[in-house]
Amino acid sequence: MTNLSQNSDIADDEYLSAFYRCAYGHLATVVGTGHQPSRTVEIGSGRGLARLSGHSWWHSDVLPSEALTLRNSAERLPFHDQSLDALILKDTWHHIPDIEAFLDEAHRVLRVGGTIAVFDPYWGILARFVYRFLHQERWDTRTPQWSFPSTDPWDSNQALTYMMLRRDREDFHRRWGDRFVLTEYQRHIGPSFLLSGGVSRRTAVSGAWLKRLLSWEERRGPWFDHFRFFHVFGLVKQ
């Protein structure tokens, strides 16, 4: 089990803990109530921060961590056919080098009606600029391929969901539409994320103030989507 004191830097940070609760809360909503925690697995769970929000699903990652229930790559899932209710990916989808190998595996291990719930970078005007020019990870929309070469699990292309769900949406539907239906599309979290410095860097801006800003952002309507940094969606197995 996780020693939650390992996560105290996040747990003690007023903004980041609210950010994580917000993200995992939306993922739990996408998965819905018809799933059992023992048949739900987070892929790329890192330090297991979902536990800070009270979620007790399984934790898996390709890199070792004391928080893990299992160690495996997303492209090879160690589960029986149709044995799971849900797979959760928070900020992990864009790190998976062969996303279609993951989708093949997800389709195999999920029961019919089971869900892949994803929280990943969004492509609004502000987010696109920040991810492209100010973020340490890659944002590459020019590559024709969804897969990318990887020598390290931290390699990524943050534009991966943009390419699959927006740029190549007809191709995505043609290749995957008979196996997964896209549901519950939502956009979340605005400039508070930028002002916070992100998950790995802290700024001098007050966490309490950023938390209030996050709460305000979450109550805005669709007009605010231009300023949002993340989206959440579900893919339901047919």
Ligand X SMILES: C[S@@+](CC[C@H](N)C(=O)[O-])C[C@H]1O[C@@H](n2cnc3c(N)ncnc32)[C@H](O)[C@@H]1O
Window contacting ligand X (CB under 6 A); options: 37-45, 190-198, 204-212, 224-232: 37-45
Window contacting ligand X (CB under 6 A); options: 26-34, 72-80, 105-113, 201-209: 72-80
Q: Considering the rule CB under 6 A, would residue 91 count as an interface residue with ligand X?
A: yes
Q: Considering the rule CB under 6 A, would residue 49 count as an interface residue with ligand X?
A: yes
10/52 Cα distance (integer angstroms): 9
224/4 Cα distance (integer angstroms): 34
Q: Considering the rule CB under 6 A, would residue 103 count as an interface residue with ligand X?
A: no
Q: Considering the rule CB under 6 A, would residue 62 count as an interface residue with ligand X?
A: yes
The CB-of-153 to ligand X minimum distance in angstroms stands at 4
Q: Considering the rule CB under 6 A, would residue 43 count as an interface residue with ligand X?
A: yes
Window contacting ligand X (CB under 6 A); options: 30-38, 92-100, 171-179, 183-191: 92-100
The CB-of-189 to ligand X minimum distance in angstroms stands at 13
Window contacting ligand X (CB under 6 A); options: 39-47, 105-113, 188-196, 221-229: 39-47
- In order, the DSSP letters of the chain are ---GGGGHHHHT-HHHHHHHHHHHHHHHHHH-SS--GGGEEEES-TTTGGGGGT---EEEESS--TT-SEE--TTS--S-TT-EEEEEEES-GGG-S-HHHHHHHHHHHEEEEEEEEEEEE---HHHHHHHHHT-SS----S-S-S----SSTT---TTHHHIIIIITHHHHHHHHTTTEEEEEEEEE--HHHHHHTTTT---SS-HHHHHHHHHHHHT--GGGGGG--EEEEEEEE-
Of 1 and 63, nearer to ligand X (C-beta) is: 63
Q: Considering the rule CB under 6 A, would residue 121 count as an interface residue with ligand X?
A: no
Of 44 and 234, nearer to ligand X (C-beta) is: 44
Asked if residues 57 and 41 have their Cβ atoms less than 8 Å apart, the reply is: yes
Q: Considering the rule CB under 6 A, would residue 134 count as an interface residue with ligand X?
A: no
Q: Considering the rule CB under 6 A, would residue 153 count as an interface residue with ligand X?
A: yes
Residue found under tokens 């009270």: 54
The CB-of-222 to ligand X minimum distance in angstroms stands at 25
Q: Considering the rule CB under 6 A, would residue 161 count as an interface residue with ligand X?
A: no
Between residue 175 and residue 234, which ones bind ligand X under the rule CB under 6 A?
A: none
Residue choice 77, 96, 116, 163 for contact with ligand X (CB under 6 A):
96
Structure tokens at 195: 């002002």
Amino acid at 105: E
Binding residues for ligand X (CB under 6 A): 43-46, 49, 61-63, 73-75, 90-92, 95-96, 153
